[in-house]
Copies of this chain bind each other. A is one copy, B any other.
Amino acid sequence: MAIDISLAARPAGRPREFDIDEALDRAITVFSERGYHGTSISDLREAMGLTAGSLYKAFKDKHAIFLACFDRYKQVRNALLDEELAKASNGRDGVRRMLVFYAEGAHGDGGRRGCLAVGTAVELAIFDDEAARRVERSMDRFETTFETLIRRGQEDGSITRSIQPNATARLLLSVVQGLRVLGKTSPSREQTFSVVDVAMTLLD
């Protein structure tokens, strides 16, 4: 008796010939660089290597493509960050790793390309409730992670007890989002990482 490897039975009909996540990864680049309104379906067709028909078979409309990109972007980035944080030896090291993780993304070509979450916040949050909810959830998650790491550091002795975990976490969140803005025009590695060093002095 053969064992079905796939989790779900293949549905009736012609099977999709492209990988959704691969296509989304290419769309993420385009949306990050050009923004939502600056990206046309033609841009997406070209980047994803699909025809308009196939695009609209796989997604309801442009907005749905964008939201799927946002979700995939966050999923991938969060997984990478979690991997990095798993290596942290203590609270302070965790904060440092998180700041470095952001600084790596905010400088050079990646900095020029931009962060999809920051772009979404700036371009869409005010009139697009679904986008705003996603941005807010993303920011909350990072703020909470910073706060948890600070508390952990205060308990393991690597971070001074004289700072307020929630307010300091909020400031660190501001710093990393700001690095993304500055990275759009002056993404030098040196300047980006000097900000990380100064931010770390808050924990002394």
CB interface residues, A 119-147, toward B, < 8 Å: 119, 121-123, 125-127, 132, 135-136, 139
Copies of this chain present = 2
Query: What's the Cα separation between A198 and B175 when bound, in Å?
Result: 12
Determine whether the beta carbon of A123 is less than 8 Å from that of B38. Answer: yes
Determine whether the beta carbon of B175 is less than 8 Å from that of A182. Answer: no
Q: Which chain B residues border A164 with CB–CB below 8 Å?
A: 198
SS class, residues of chain A in contact with chain B: helix
> Is A20 at the interface (CB under 8 A from chain B)?
no
Determine whether the beta carbon of A123 is less than 8 Å from that of B35. Answer: yes
Determine whether the beta carbon of B168 is less than 8 Å from that of A198. Answer: yes
> Is A54 at the interface (CB under 8 A from chain B)?
no
Q: A34-B127, A121-B184, A168-B198 are known contacts; what are 15 more A-B pairs with Cβ within 8 Å?
A: A37-B37, A112-B126, A118-B122, A118-B181, A123-B123, A135-B184, A163-B198, A166-B194, A167-B194, A170-B191, A171-B194, A174-B179, A178-B178, A198-B202, A201-B202
Q: Which chain B residues border A182 with CB–CB below 8 Å?
A: 121, 139, 173-174, 177
Taking a contact as CB atoms closer than 8 A, the residue among B112, B121, B126, B198 that contacts A171 in the complex is B198
